[in-house]
């Protein structure tokens, strides 16, 4: 087992921030002296039913603590999730029902187990303690914090200045998350950089409840496949952990070149020399950057779908996108009855009627961009029409991954 100082160096190396930094070193040294593992806590709200690669950045940090012999405390926010984390939000979120929360949370531990040793972890739903708080308990909790402290949050400040509503229940959210740290007696709490306020609030509330404050360790936010915003299902720029290998591989091949090295750093296991070599290849551009991206996609697919799955997904990808072969599992869609009555159908209108694009004009634009193929052949004429009598069985491809067989 690495020494306390060696653990410290490894844990802070790829963290975004550690606060207070020296407190973590001292906690690790005390753990080593006393033979008591630290309790490293991570909470995830089940606001959506699936985890994605963005979640794995902080899950990998939790696994790192676990590999050093510390206790991983994994919490699914089945109570805090009813409210919704206000971090980064420009307006109050609609509250989810307990039924929606339960359904979303159902497979969270199973998915987290793709990264963390869940069987060796301590797992909780925070309804275990939060649902039992009485009104005097809530009053005691809220008395620990002022409105001025809450308004130090950048997102709350912005909404207050702009006259946009802030629900009182949103003020309760960081306090409830802090109670998770009190209930589990966390020594360390992990989260993305967007969680900094909530995590630091945990230190304050632990102190108010007579506990030694936790150390806050934040990890960088993973940019989504669009290269512009953080990975989120809301932005449709995510790669889900349980997506089929071919979908995962295809999405990773679509990321901008500038994301290849950050993805290697945050999502895979590589030493400094390997990362330096990959950085040089990406900087060289062209075929070198493309091969680095393929390697990234292969490795990540294999991490979550098993040995050899990355190579198999790459072969399927090349069959479709290099050799323009058709995939085996094409979705079938029926041509709308109204269009079948016409001798010919304008292609942009067909794309719209099938729900493949949002409007006729978007259909024209996708065709002009070269994003549409029929039976593997590119279509570039936005005025193209298809004979309705022979339309059945034809395959329309939109973009790199979407195929539809007409019937």
pLDDT digits (tens, 9 = 90+) for 274-307: 999 999 999 999 999 999 999 999 999 999 999 9
The answer to whether 210 touches 237, Cβ cutoff 8 Å, is: no
Q: How many CB atoms lie within 10 A of CB 25?
A: 19
Q: Which of 89, 162, 81, 74 is nearest to 127 (CA)?
A: 81
The band of 34, judged by pLDDT with boundaries at 50, 70 and 90, is very high
What six digits make up the tokens of 229?
């915003």
At 162 the pLDDT is 87
pTM of the model: 0.78
At 325 the pLDDT is 64
Q: Which residues contact 32 (CB under 8 A, 6 or more apart)?
A: 3, 4
64 membership: H or E segment, kind and range: helix 53-67
Helices then strands (H, E): number in the chain?
A: 20, 13
Pick the CATH number of 331-406 from 3.10.180.10, 3.40.50.300, 3.10.290.10, 3.40.50.150: 3.10.290.10
At 88 the pLDDT is 54
Q: Rounded distance, CA 261 to CA 278, Å?
A: 7
Higher pLDDT, 110 or 37: 37
Within 13 Å, how many C-alpha atoms sit on residue 59's CB side?
25
What six digits make up the tokens of 251?
């999405």
Higher pLDDT, 130 or 110: 130
Given phi > 0 = left and psi -120 to 50 = alpha, else beta, which region is 118? alpha
| Arithmetic mean of pLDDT, 145-171 | 85
Q: Give the C-alpha distances (Å, rounded to integers) separating 117 from 17, 38, 97.
A: 24, 16, 30
- Estimate the crossing angle of helix 309-321 against helix 245-253, to 10 degrees: 60
Residues in the chain: 407
Task: For CATH 3.10.290.10, list the domain ranges present in the chain.
Answer: 331-406
Within 13 Å, how many C-alpha atoms sit on residue 386's CB side?
24
Task: For CATH 1.10.240.10, list the domain ranges present in the chain.
Answer: 245-321
The band of 326, judged by pLDDT with boundaries at 50, 70 and 90, is low
Q: How many CB atoms lie within 10 A of CB 122?
A: 13
What is the topology classification, in CATH, of domain 4-219? Rossmann fold (3.40.50)
Instruction: Give the distance, in angstroms, between the CA of residue 26 and the centroid of all CA atoms in the same chain.
Output: 32
Range with the lowest mean pLDDT among 59-73, 299-313, 387-401?
A: 387-401
Q: Rounded distance, CA 108 to CA 378, Å?
A: 41
Task: For CATH 3.40.50.620, list the domain ranges present in the chain.
Answer: 4-219
What is the topology classification, in CATH, of domain 245-321? Tyrosyl-Transfer RNA Synthetase (1.10.240)
Output the average pLDDT for the chain.
89
Could you give the strand order of the β-sheet that contains 215-219, starting from the edge strand earlier in sequence?
17-19, 215-219, 188-192, 39-44, 71-76, 122-125
The β-bridge partners of 73 are 41, 122
β-pairing, 372-374 vs 377-378, is antiparallel
Q: What is the share, in percent, of the chain residues with pLDDT greater than 70?
A: 94
């Amino acid at each position: 087992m690495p020494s306390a100082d060696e653990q410290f160096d490894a844990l802070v190396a790829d963290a975004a921030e550690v606060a207070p930094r020296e407190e973590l070193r001292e906690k690790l040294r005390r753990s080593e002296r006393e033979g008591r593992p630290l309790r490293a806590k991570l909470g995830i709200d089940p606001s959506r039913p699936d985890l994605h690669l963005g979640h794995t950045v902080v899950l990998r940090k939790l696994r790192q603590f676990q590999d050093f012999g510390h206790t991983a405390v994994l919490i699914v926010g089945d109570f805090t999730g009813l409210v919704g984390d206000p971090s980064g939000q420009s307006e109050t979120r609609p509250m989810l029902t307990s039924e929606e929360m339960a359904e979303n949370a159902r497979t969270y531990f199973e998915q987290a187990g793709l990264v963390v040793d869940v069987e060796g972890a301590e797992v909780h739903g925070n309804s275990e303690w939060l649902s039992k708080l009485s009104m005097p308990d809530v009053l005691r909790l809220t008395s620990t914090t002022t409105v001025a402290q809450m308004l130090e949050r950048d997102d709350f400040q912005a909404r207050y200045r702009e006259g946009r509503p802030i629900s009182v229940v949103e003020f309760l959210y960081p306090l409830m998350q802090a109670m998770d740290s009190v209930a589990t007696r966390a020594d360390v709490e992990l989260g993305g950089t967007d969680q900094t306020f909530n995590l630091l609030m945990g230190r304050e509330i632990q102190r108010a409840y007579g506990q030694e404050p936790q150390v806050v360790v934040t990890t960088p936010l993973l940019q989504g496949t669009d290269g512009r915003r953080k990975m989120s299902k809301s932005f449709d720029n995510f790669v889900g952990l349980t997506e089929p290998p071919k979908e995962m591989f295809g999405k990773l091949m679509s990321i901008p070149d500038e994301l290849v090295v950050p993805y290697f750093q945050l999502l895979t296991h590589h030493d400094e020399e390997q990362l330096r070599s990959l950085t040089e290849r990406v900087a060289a551009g062209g075929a070198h950057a493309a091969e680095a991206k393929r390697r990234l996609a292969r490795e990540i697919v294999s991490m979550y779908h098993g040995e050899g799955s990355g190579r198999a997904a790459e072969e399927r990808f090349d069959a479709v996108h290099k050799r323009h072969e058709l995939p085996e599992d094409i979705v079938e869609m029926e041509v709308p009855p109204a269009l079948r009555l016409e001798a010919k159908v304008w292609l942009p209108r067909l794309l719209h009627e099938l729900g493949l694009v949002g409007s006729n004009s978007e259909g024209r634009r996708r065709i002009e961009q070269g994003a549409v193929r029929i039976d593997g052949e590119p279509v570039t004429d936005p005025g193209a029409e298809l004979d309705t009598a022979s339309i059945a069985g034809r395959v329309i491809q939109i973009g790199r991954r979407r195929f539809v067989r007409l019937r």
